[in-house]
Amino acid sequence: MNTCHKEVKKGTMAKSTGNKNAKLLRLVEERALSMEKKKNQRGALVPYVPQDCISNILVRLPLDSLQKSRFVCKPWYTIINSPLFIDAHLRRSESVLIFLSSIKRESLYSFPMESIPPEKPNTISVEEKCLQTECAPAFGLLNISPNLKSYIQCLEIKGGKSKIREYNISCLGSIRATCNGLILLDNKLKKGLIVMNPVTRKLTALPLGTLFSPHNESYGIALNSATGEYKVIHLFRDELGFIGCEILNLGTKLWRGANGPSFGHVSWFGYMPVSAIGALHWVPHVDRSDYIVSMDVNEEKFHTTPLPKSCRTHDRVVEMGGFLSFVTHEGVKQIDIWVLKGLSESWTKQYCITRGCKMDMVPLFSLRIKGDMIFKRDKDGSLYAYDFQLHVMTKIEMEKGCFPLSCLFLPHVNSLVSWSSRESGQDACD
């Protein structure tokens, strides 16, 4: 009897366990079906958008919105950080003028320290950030006097008006060169250089090269179209007047010597070199330069290119639509623009400006998208834009009290460009 009773009990328990398992399995299946149904409903409310469409929308966003959009979701982050998107964004970005602005020294003596406006909450120091990437303490930089700091800003020109844009970045050095959104800064901590993208705030310190005083040297950044790598080119004049040259590839960060221009071809480094048609170009003399000195970025060879006429005080060479242009004053009320489309080609007279010209108008740069040529008058520092389609010279409306007329302005473009494809380590520290 006991054996039969035990067998009946076991059968009952097995049946009960089987019922529970079946019930649990049914609940799991029902929940899975419910989740699938909700997923389909969400898919119906939010239809699938192709990645190309999302990319075309994102590339049209203002820079501030684009930076925030990187953190919406992983697919958007991947799109915005892809090389194709960065190149597309660069092609759509308009030119600006980048410069350094600082608190005037006289204001520091006229007012107590308590009245000096504090930095904005998101302001970073280039030097402190550089030290952090090297895992070095930055305590000595935390109390830098405000009169030693400069703040990186840019001037945007749109619709005949100018607007100051803040990067919220401070530094101790000066801007030596720009290229595709990258800037070359002095590294005051180690008497070296720093490459930085002020939009993404990524930076990297470069090793020490040959040291010379600023008026005896010139720096340039250029893209090697053959390898896709950025180069820093440094020219310097020794005590005998010979011009030396050294080049650093940002991928390897190693300086190496190169043959410089021939003796006597360069006597002055007053103007920043201009990057165009695959080369860097220098105006070699203070006044009456009959040629420019060019260095082919890929081949790293120097040669001279004759100018259509002698370059005078208010004349300049600037990049224009991807080509090199020579903007020269012809008399008092005429400005001619000559264009060079290749190192082995000849200059072609492209434009003749006869409206609104002044003798002291210095060409600064050309807008990448709209195409206007921007001039600055020596007389009062005012800016003018010439519209090549309407043939009109217009004075640009400036922000009052926010534009330092005496500082150095360099052509720039706000981009997402990086010197390295890697997004980690010291080469791309955020």
pLDDT band at 146 (very low <50, low <70, confident <90, very high): low
How would DSSP label each residue in 209-269? -----GGGEEEEEEEETTTTEEEEEEEEE-TTSPEEEEEEETTTTEEEEE--PPTTS----
In percent, the amount of the chain with pLDDT more than 90 equals 51
Q: Which whole number is the average pLDDT over 237-243? A: 89
**Range of weakest confidence among 131-140, 145-154, 315-324:** 131-140
> Does residue 43 fall inside a structural domain?
no
CATH code for the domain in which residue 406 is found = 2.120.10.80
Distance from the Cα of residue 36 to its chain's centroid: 46
pLDDT value at position 149?
A: 84
Residue 118 is given by DSSP the state P
CA 393 from centroid of its chain's CA atoms: 28
Q: Which of 76-90, 99-113, 316-330 has the lowest mean pLDDT?
A: 99-113
8: confidence class by pLDDT, cuts 50, 70, 90? very low
| Domain-embedded: residue 366 | yes
Do 160 and 72 fall into the same domain? no
Q: Do residues 167 and 69 both lie within one domain?
A: no
- In a shared domain, residues 97 and 84: no
**Structural domain contains residue 212:** yes
DSSP structure string for 16-70:
HHHHHHHHHHHHHHHHHHHHHHHHHHHHHHS----HHHHHHHHTTS-HHHHHHHT
The pLDDT score that the predictor gives to residue 180 is 95
Q: Are residues 270 and 365 in the same domain?
A: yes
- Say whether both 58 and 153 belong to one domain: no
Q: Which of 120, 99, 103 is nearest to 174 (CA)?
A: 99
- Residue 6's SS3 state is helix
Residue 19: inside a domain:
no
Q: Which pLDDT does position 108 carry in this prediction?
A: 36
* Whether the predicted pLDDT of 10 surpasses 60: no
In terms of domains, do 78 and 189 share one? Answer: no
**Does 267 lie in the same domain as 153?**
yes
Residue 376 within any structural domain of the chain: yes
Mean pLDDT of 96-116: 58
Q: What is the pLDDT of residues 358-409, one digit of tens each?
A: 999 999 999 999 999 999 998 888 999 999 999 999 999 987 655 666 678 8
Q: What value does the mean pLDDT of the chain take?
A: 83
State pLDDT tens for residues 277-299. Answer: 999 999 999 888 999 999 999 99
DSSP at 172: S
Q: Do both 262 and 318 map to the same domain?
A: yes
Evaluate whether residue 359 is within a structural domain. Answer: yes
Are both 226 and 311 inside the same structural domain? Answer: yes
Tell me whether residue 428 is in a domain.
no
Count the domains in the chain.
2
Range of the domain at 262: 93-104+121-139+147-413
Both tokens assigned to 237: 């004049």
Q: With a cut of 60, say whether residue 425 has pLDDT above it.
A: no
Residues 59 and 155 both lie in one domain:
no
Asked if 97 and 190 sit in the same domain, the reply is yes
What pLDDT does 30 receive? 74
Q: Are residues 69 and 159 in the same domain?
A: no
Q: Is residue 42 part of a domain?
A: no
